Structure 1
Amino acid sequence: MERMELKKVCTEADDDSNDSLDERYSAANNSEKVTMNSILLFAVAILSLYSIHLLLVTAKEGGSLIYETLGERAFGWPGKMAAFGSIIMQNIGAMSSYLFIVKYELPEVIRAFTGLEENSGEWYLNGNYLVVFVSVGVILPLALLKNLGYLGYTSGFSLSCMVFFVCVLIYKKTQLPCPLPFFFHHSANTSLNGSELMNPYMLHNHSALMEFSRADVSSGHLDPHSTALPVSGVHYTPRPDDYEDMCTPKYFVFNSQTAYTIPILAFAFVCHPEVLPIYSELKDRSRRKMQNVSNLSILAMLIMYMLSALFGYLTFYVYKFDTLLLCVRLAVLTAVTLTVPIVLFPIRSSITTLLFAEREFSWIRHILIAAAILIFNNLLVIFVPTIRDIFGFIGSSAATMLIFILPAAFYLRLVKSIPFRSTQKISAAIFLIVGIIFMIGSLTLIILDWIHNPPGSEGGH
């Protein structure tokens, strides 16, 4: 028997694989770990609420509930285009991220319900086809509604699905030991079959650390009629250090992926393009009522993000198992699918405001714009291989513009009733400067990461 020691086996899948989305996205999502994650989540939530406050005050004094119109009144055509471009980029990115989840998770849900052990290549397990079917059959009909208020019920149902996800996550934390019994049942030099070897428990960020023996199988043969799994001759030796790394939370971690952390969090808390349309449809609307709605919404999202990030990490640490995801995939898929039409409304509103501001409402135009947006997003999801770069780039650019730069700039320019040297104006100016620094710094770090770790290379995306 020939022996060799394997220090690192790369198990990274190619772009055409049907791996779960959580495996593709987990690196950036967990680089900040426990304490850093909690601090950043809370900070971004507070900044987002302050930004909404600035936006509502500006809308009242600026005399408009349309983001692009506020930009035009503040800075003319450049301000209008800045608002238009930021809203389009942010919402296109949001729609793409939701459709990415459909692309990678819906095939796994179907495979689980049909009892298939692996993806055998049927068309109904092809994520690209499923994205198109969901877009045409579910998203497009909801997107054709005339008013955003009609989607309130679907939005509430999608929120309930995410609450279910968080509850299951917390429950799993109390049920799963660490390390899993799997590691105790396979002692030194225990033979594993191919299915066990590729089990997610054995993988650590697409790599496995192990020592193995390669048996000479040239003299043997496989019985094509046998139902038993062939033994690969690979022997796994668990190490004590692996247990400690697996079951010890890391409170602060800084690496090349940390550059994506704040942009992703900013991306997650951007609701600003929807604030003004919702404000305009409130009965007996007032700035205080809309601020209370925003406070409640941001608080709910903060709690859900915090619980899912904390318990998800403390349950699985550096490992992300399919056990949890199979329990809640359907709920998450339902939630993100019902959210896409809500995100589509501001995009269509921005396009209508920019190109058809003087024309009356037209159902044909309403339908064609929605269809064009969905076609573009489907093409983006089908041909772009990774979701993390979309999160990082749009979070650093469009999300930063919508949270920090534009509300503060519009406030400073349009609110005339407050002196410039007042505390409110000085705070808004500092907020604006911080936003500019953050956008430049984040984009620089992400571009440097792309240069040093290009997609497809070892250690890349």
Structure 2
Amino acid sequence: MSINGNGNAEFYSHQSDTGDTEGNDTTPLLSNGVQRSRARGASFASSVFNLMNAIMGSGILGLAYAMASTGIVGFCILLILVSSLAAYSIHLLLKLCDLTGINSYEELGGRALQKPGKVLVGIAIVIQNVGAMSSYLFILKSELPSAIAGFLSPDQSREAWFEDGRLLLIIVTLCVVLPLAILPKIGFLGYTSSLAFFFMLYFTIVVVVKKWSIPCPLPKNSTTSLGAYQVSNSSDLECTPRLFILSSRSAYAIPTMAFSFLCHTAVLPIYCELDRPTKTRMQKVTNVGIGLSFLVYLVSALFGYLTFYAHVESELLLGYDAYLPRDVMVTTVRLAILISVLLTVPLIHFPARKAVILLLRGDRPFSWLIHVAATVLILGVVLLLAIFVPDIRNVFGVVGSTTSSCLLFVFPGLFYLKISRQPFPSFDFIGALSLVVFGLIMGVISFSIIIFTWIQSSE
């Protein structure tokens, strides 16, 4: 099983002793330094499906806000740029995989930069997965009260204990997430990750359909139906989509996109799974998977923005509460997203805990005490972040501008420059160098603006 930073799991078959059927001699893959041959059996279509599961996560809920912060054309340009660079950085990882025979992101870091490289990648994966888990628990905190209230009458849900999202989050974490995460093996939950993609498609369909259910200018308040809304005095300008926007909020756009397209820790295991695994064939899987994810992201962000315009919430589903209370489609999509989140958090926790234990204890034998302590510690940190972080865009912004940019842009380019030793005039040398420079510049600028915005807000 392979689990990416967005919290999706992919399963790959047992290793086969046979080689490629296309007649290509490739370097045998290594797992933790042990040589093994590539796995066979996964079709092109199933590999695309696996990669899309790896790509699509909680970031889809923040892309409409990113469009409201950059404008439609600005968002499209940035989305094309980030998705193209993501595909190119995967191209570099695949070349390194064939060159070294390594199928682990951490091991590539070790090959490129020795132990510091392995530690850097491990830390980045821990922070990335902690950020992803925090974003998922944040969704539970914000959406679970509304989901419960949607199945009850207004009198039952008014001032009820379950309206406190933080209390619900603590209960769900202790009763559901912790017991699942503390298990030494949790492979059966990986099969549920295949539902995540269908949930994302359903989410996109609901966003498109509900575009025509909410009038513009947006209602100021409501009672129980659209007919009872009081329309605000907003001008028609509020209902005019903007093509380009540049503000302090725009600093969250690229980090959110980087967070949304990060699948690089899952790419190499999917490569191992692919039938007739060649770099060209896996690159086609990557291009198709990223292309389809791009379309889903673009459609959901566009119609989410055209529904709320400048009033888009940083977590899109929150915007429907005031205008479509107890709507059946919104309630069902909220429930689908919550089920996906609830089952995904334990899966994201596994690689984070593995990386923490590896960084602290190396390859020492399994210890239940260390296992339980690491589980409780990580979930405790994630729970505190989800409770006290006031806005999910902060998770997308900080994690996206730091670890996501490193795993997506900086590390693939840097590792390629260190391992391949390509001459300067070559296209991949220039491309890898550009990835490193772009990732560093984007990360530093975005993170600096986000911190500056926090300071201004506190003052």
User: Using the alignment, how far apart are the partners of 2:295 and 2:370 within structure 1?
Assistant: 39
Equivalent-residue separation in structure 1 for 2:347 and 2:290 (angstroms):
17
- After superposition, the Cα gap between the structure-2 partners of 1:368 and 1:113, relative to the gap in structure 1 and judged at 3 Å, is same
- Tell me which amino acid in the other structure corresponds to 1:132: I
2:438 alignment counterpart: 434
Q: How many angstroms apart in 1 are the aligned matches of 2:198 and 2:61?
A: 25
Distance 2:428 2:178 in 1: 43
Between Structure 1 and Structure 2, how many residues are aligned?
385
Amino acid in the other structure paired with 2:455: I
| Selected match of 1:106 from 144, 147, 155 | 144
- Structure 2 residue aligned with 1:328: 333
The residue number in structure 1 matching 2:456 is: 452
1:262 shift after superposition: 1.0
8 Å Cα contact 2:67/2:75 also seen in 1 = no
Which one of the candidate residues 70, 75, 83 is aligned to 1:37? 75
AA partner of residue 338 (structure 1): L
**Structure 1 contact 68–350 (Cα < 8 Å) conserved:** no
Q: 1:279 to 1:351 in 2, by over 3 A?
A: farther
Equivalences for 1:36-55 in 2 at 5 Å?
36-55=74-93
Highest Rg: 1 or 2? 1
Pair 179,128 (structure 1): closer, same or farther in 2 beyond 3 Å: closer
Given that 2:211 and 2:303 are in contact with CA atoms closer than 8 Å, whether structure 1 keeps it comes out as yes
Q: Report the counterpart of residue 240 of structure 2 in structure 1.
A: 248
8 Å contact kept, 1:149–1:281: no
Rounded Cα–Cα distance in structure 2 between residues aligned with 1:422 and 1:428: 10
The 1:277–1:144 alpha-carbon spacing in structure 2 relative to 1, beyond 3 Å, is: farther
Q: In the TM superposition, what is the alpha-carbon distance from 1:24 to its structure 2 partner?
A: 11
Please list, as runs of the form range in 1=range in 2, the aligned pairs for 1:10-409 lying within 5 A after superposition. Answer: 30-116=68-154, 120-140=158-178, 142-143=180-181, 150-179=188-217, 239=233, 242-279=234-271, 286-288=278-280, 290-319=282-311, 320-322=319-321, 323=324, 325-360=330-365, 366=371, 368-409=373-414
1:176/1:119 Cα in 2 relative to 1: closer, same or farther (>3 Å)?
Answer: closer
> Contact 2:127 / 2:399 at 8 angstroms: preserved in 1?
yes
Amino acid at match of 1:125: E
* Equivalent position SS for 2:380: helix
Percent same amino acid at aligned positions? 41
For 1:395, the aligned partner's letter is G
State whether structure 2 residue 429 is matched by structure 1 residue 425. Answer: yes
Contact 1:111/1:117, CA 8 A, preserved across alignment: no
Farther off after superposition, 68-77 or 41-50: 68-77
User: In the aligned structure 1, how far is the partner of 2:155 from the partner of 2:262?
Assistant: 39
Q: Are the aligned partners of 1:273 and 1:346 in contact in 2 as well (CA < 8 Å)? A: no
Q: TM-score, normalised by structure 2?
A: 0.73
| Mapped partners of 1:152, 1:288: distance in 2 | 27
Using the TM superposition, give the Cα deviation of residue 76 of structure 1 relative to its aligned residue in structure 2, in angstroms: 2.4
**Residues 270 and 399 in structure 1, CA contact (< 8 A), matched pair in contact too:** yes
SS of 1:54's equivalent? helix
Name the counterpart of 2:419. Answer: 414
Deviation at 1:137, TM superposition (A): 4.1
Do the aligned partners of residues 289 and 140 (structure 1) sit closer, same or farther apart at CA in structure 2, a change above 3 Å counting?
Answer: farther
The residue aligned with 1:4 is none
Q: CA deviation at 1:164?
A: 0.9
SS in 2 for 1:453: helix
CA contact (8 A) 2:170 2:383 kept: yes
Matched to 1:106, the amino acid is L
Q: Aligned partners of 1:372 and 1:400: how far apart in 2?
A: 26
Aligned equivalents of 2:248, 2:91: Cα separation in 1: 34
User: Given residue 435 of structure 1, which amino acid in structure 2 is its aligned partner?
Assistant: G
Report the Cα offset of residue 167 of structure 1: 0.9
Task: State whether residues 392 and 446 of structure 1, in contact with CA within 8 Å, keep that contact through their aligned partners in structure 2.
Answer: yes
Which has the higher mean CA deviation after the structures are superposed, 366-375 or 82-91?
A: 366-375
Query: Aligned-pair distance for 1:166?
Result: 0.9
- The C-alpha deviation readout for 1:407-427, integer Å capped at 9, x for no partner, is 1000111124x4443211121
Is the 8 Å Cα contact of residues 51 and 407 (structure 1) preserved in structure 2?
yes
Q: Distance between the aligned counterparts of 2:90 and 2:401, measured in 1? A: 18
1:382 & 1:256 partners in 2: Cα distance? 25
Report the residue type matching 1:52 in the other structure.
I
CA–CA separation in structure 2 for the residues paired with 1:149 and 1:40? 36
Is 1:161–1:334's contact at 8 Å kept on the other side of the alignment? no
Deviation at 1:237, TM superposition (A): 8.7
Structure 1: unaligned runs, 5 residues or longer: 1-21, 184-193, 203-235
Question: What amino acid does structure 2 have at the position aligned with 1:346?
Answer: P
Residues in 2 aligned to 1:392 and 1:23: alpha-carbon distance in whole angstroms: 13
Distance in 2 (CA, whole Å) between partners of 1:24 and 1:126 is 23
Q: Does structure 1 conserve the Cα–Cα contact (< 8 Å) formed by 2:63 and 2:257?
A: no
Query: Closer, same or farther in 2 for the Cα pair 1:148/1:39, shift >3 Å?
Result: farther
Aligned partners of 2:231, 2:377: CA distance in 1, in Å? 54
Q: Distance in 2 between matches of 1:86 and 1:403?
A: 11
| Partner in structure 2 of residue 228 of structure 1 | none
- 2:412 alignment partner, SS class: helix
1:27, distance to aligned residue in structure 2 (A): 5.7
Distance 1:93 1:173 in 2: 30
SS in 2 for 1:114: coil
* 1:229-285 CA-partner distances (Å, limit 9, x unpaired): xxxxxxx8954xx24123211111111211111111111111223334544566775
Larger deviation: 429-438 or 310-319?
310-319
Partners of 1:415 and 1:23 in 2: CA distance: 38
**Residue 271 to residue 50, structure 1, CA distance change in 2 (3 Å):** same
Q: Per the alignment, in what secondary structure is the counterpart of residue 69 of structure 2?
A: coil
Q: What is the identity, as a one-letter code, of the residue corresponding to 2:434? A: I
- Partner of residue 19, structure 2: none
**Any idea what the Cα deviations from partners look like across 1:169-212, whole Å, max 9, x if unmatched?**
212234444447x68xxxxxxxxxx966xx9x98xxxxxxxxxx
1:148–1:60 Cα change, 3 Å = farther
